[in-house]
Amino acid sequence: MTIGIIGGGQLGLMLAEQARLLGARTVALDPAPDAPAFAVCDEHIVAAYDDAAALEELCRRSDVVSYEFENVPGGVLIPLTEKYHIPQGFRPLYDSQDRLREKTNAREHGLLTPDFAAVEDEASLRRAVDEIGYPCVLKTRTLGYDGHGQAVLRSAEDLPKALPLLSVPCILEQFVRFDYEASIVLVRDARGRTIHFPVGRNIHRDGILDLCVVPAAMPSDLLERLVGASERFMAGCGYTGILAIEYFIRGDEFFFNEMAPRPHNSGHYTIEGCTTNQFREWARYLLGQEMEEPRLVAPTVMKNILGQDLEAAERTAREGCGDVHVHLYGKRVAKPKRKMGHITFVGMDKEEYDARWRDRFVK
């Protein structure tokens, strides 16, 4: 079988690697001629994500199609789901592309969310602030990522700096004073069976994921409730395929932050840290194969490698430490905050990572 992948980034690269191990072919579409996934895929198409003819060609070459990039225009994807085998459909993609729709959907399906309100102009921003209170966060409803497209408002003095965001529709959210962030990756098949990977504890720097520590240190009751609520949410929405959900954890409560209908940066640790990984189970879902229940091999720390840490990661790769696994994505241009790879430290907890490895990387 051939899997078509809309998007040729590192997620498509890692899906193609796992698909090949399962005996499948892959073809990816991406606007960049040097997209990372092209180095592994059997075929590729260089075209924009909204190029209807190119997307149609991708679907014709494929037995099953998915997306590794959540900003694929829904208006182009929807008609393709009616003609070709795109088992995840457009709904999880559509729901995740607008923060207002995403938060409303989460609340309607049983997940606790921060207070939020739609904001379109300065007047509605001031009304929303009066309702939600300070501190709060103004975010663009679409396209923001890794801390971009948002501003924290701690007092009325911060309002002027937030006004430029109002050139597009926004959402104002309550600022949740959380203890830590956690994420879960789930895969649900067409028969309704759901598997989930161990919950990770996420540590960010400048709005970008820096470390994922697994297992997340949380009470067993809280963990059980978080997993159960996530599975019910996915089933209640009728989603199948892969879904990642980020939560804010405060005491014994968990608040929905955001979701992504694709593999997640925080789930990269699964490649070596679990008995199976998020890309392999995504591929199995796409191929209609029986999924495997994941099991954690050992405590694991995953370090995200941005452009400023690329040289340190390359040096670590040359050292060849047995339980230190360096993944570089093959991107030709390294920028300070661009995701260039990740390193998985298997059999290591956060304390050992801090003692042995943290000082290698830019602080």
Number of H helices, E strands in the chain: 12, 17
183 torsion bin: left (phi>0), alpha (psi -120 to 50), beta (else): beta
Three-state SS sequence of 102-143: HHHHHHHCCCCCCCEEEECCHHHHHHHHHHHCCCEEEEECCC
Q: Where are the beta strands (DSSP E) in the chain?
A: 2-6, 25-30, 43-46, 64-67, 116-119, 136-140, 150-153, 170-174, 180-188, 194-196, 200-205, 208-214, 241-250, 253-260, 300-306, 324-328, 339-346
Question: Could you give the domains of the chain?
Answer: 2-86 (3.40.50.20), 115-174 (3.30.1490.20), 180-360 (3.30.470.20)
Cis peptide before 336 (omega within 30 of 0): no
Which residues is 64 bridged to in the sheet? 3
Q: What is the pTM of this model?
A: 0.94
Tens-digit pLDDT string for the chain (363 aa)? 999 999 999 999 999 999 999 999 999 999 999 999 999 999 999 999 999 999 999 999 999 999 998 878 877 889 999 999 999 999 999 999 999 999 999 999 999 999 999 999 999 999 999 999 999 999 999 876 655 788 999 999 999 999 999 999 999 999 999 999 999 999 999 999 999 999 999 999 988 999 999 999 999 999 999 999 999 999 999 999 999 999 999 999 999 999 999 999 999 999 999 999 999 999 999 999 999 999 999 999 999 999 999 999 999 999 988 899 999 999 989 988 899 999 999 999 999 999 999 999 987
Place of tokens 């393709």: 80
pLDDT of residue 143: 74
What confidence tens digit (pLDDT) does each residue in 293-350 have? 999 999 999 999 999 999 999 999 999 888 999 999 999 899 888 999 999 999 999 9
Neighbouring CB atoms inside 10 A of 127's CB total: 13
DSSP code for 274: B
Neighbouring CB atoms inside 10 A of 30's CB total: 25
Q: 281 to each of 18, 88, 330, how far by Cα in Å?
A: 9, 14, 23
Exposed e or buried b per residue across 154-180, where buried means at least 16 C-beta atoms within 10 angstroms of its C-beta: eeeebeeebeebbeebbbbbbbbebee
Q: Angle formed by the axes of helices 10-21 and 278-287, to 10°?
A: 60
pLDDT of residue 146: 56
pLDDT of residue 224: 98
